[in-house]
Amino acid sequence: MPYPASARKILKAFLLLILVFPARMNAAGYIISEHNAEKAIAENRIAADIEFLSHRLTGGRRTGSMGSTMVAAYLSSRFRDIGLKPFEGSYFRGFRTETGQTGQNVLGLLGGRSRRYIVVAAHYDNIGLWGDAFYPGADSNASGVAAMLSIAGAFSYMNRLGKERGKGIIFVALDAKEQNMGGARALYSLFKDGSLSNPDTGQAITLSDIDMFVNIDQVGSTLSPIHKGREDYLIMLSDEGTGRRNSLLSGNRERGTGLDISFSYYGSRDFTRLFYRKVSDQKVFIEGGIPSVMFTSGITMLNNKTSDVPESLDTGILRKRVLLMYYYLTKIV
């Protein structure tokens, strides 16, 4: 007995879906949509990470301080809970700053099918305590670290659903940005020396294996909009031919985040060059010839002040920025 016309249409559509979109289905036959990742990117989780990182208990996260050590331990615990794999059994890589302080980078891996990697980083150190003055550093850069953790959580969640990626992603919480980018320099040296090995394959990860370095630095504020009246914005800085800017624009359009996007620092060529090439951790990788991207919501009048507190941030808009950064990364891994 032939199927009715309506049933034949449904069956035809289902078969077409299997043939045309096999990569979107996991082993159990369920369709895997990137929208599923939104479940792993929660505003309250982002807010909780920022609250802890910028709490007085952590003392402002000055490199080498007790508070910095506490934060590094917290980050390693978050990496483990998220499901990132440690390198040689440890999430920590210590180093010495130019001033003799002991810094501590925190690293974890989500593996991919190839030997290619994207590095996603955010520095966790800040000014710290100066006398009686406490510098919480909520935007600079607890916001970037919280964003990085949520992006890692989203990728890990999708991995558990069966979504495979071509490239591995190395997530790094960098120390000592405030000390001549000491953490970024130490990380670069690890890749240059081949001192990190993929925990799944045992193969050394070198600079030639890194396709892009993505730095997230100050993404929580709405106080310096690109255009007046648009608090929902995001700035992405990169070299014009290397940052995959169209991937950000298409993600913004396709996934409905609808953020106001700029690829320059408020339209100024000089300030764009300064902030991209001189003042944050991607500088080290740019100088080493690695294509690099910086995400930011800009400098505000609260940065490097005692008033850089969680209450000054908009975690709702920060979540939208995290979603867009995640969608962008899905297009390049």
Q: In what order do the strands lie in the sheet with 117-123?
A: 92-96, 102-110, 168-174, 117-123, 210-216, 292-296, 233-238, 260-262
The dihedral over CA atoms of 288, 290, 295, 298, expressed in degrees to the nearest 10, equals 30
Do residue 16 and residue 135 come from a single domain?
A: no
Do residue 27 and residue 129 come from a single domain?
A: no
- CATH of residue 180's domain is 3.40.630.10
Quote the pLDDT of residue 193: 97
Do residue 156 and residue 181 come from a single domain?
A: yes
Average pLDDT over residues 37-45: 94
Do residue 23 and residue 145 come from a single domain?
A: no
Do residue 19 and residue 43 come from a single domain?
A: no
Q: What residues make up the domain containing 111?
A: 35-332
pLDDT digits (tens, 9 = 90+) for 55-69: 999 999 999 999 999
Do residue 9 and residue 58 come from a single domain?
A: no
Q: For residue 10, is pLDDT > 50?
A: no
Q: What percent of the chain has pLDDT over 70?
A: 90
Do residue 22 and residue 154 come from a single domain?
A: no
Q: For residue 18, is pLDDT > 50?
A: no
Quote the pLDDT of residue 206: 98
Q: Which residue has the tokens 């520095």?
A: 123
Whether 313 and 139 have beta carbons less than 8 Å apart is answered as: yes
Quote the pLDDT of residue 35: 80
Do residue 240 and residue 269 come from a single domain?
A: yes
pLDDT tier for residue 333 given thresholds of 50, 70 and 90: very high
Q: For residue 71, is pLDDT > 50?
A: yes
Whether 244 and 254 have beta carbons less than 8 Å apart is answered as: no
Do residue 27 and residue 39 come from a single domain?
A: no
Q: For residue 21, is pLDDT > 50?
A: no
Q: For residue 34, is pLDDT > 90?
A: no
User: Looking at the DSSP assignment, which residues form a beta bridge with residue 262?
Assistant: 235
Do residue 85 and residue 1 come from a single domain?
A: no
Reported pTM: 0.91
Q: How many domains does the chain have?
A: 2
Do residue 310 and residue 162 come from a single domain?
A: yes
Do residue 115 and residue 192 come from a single domain?
A: yes
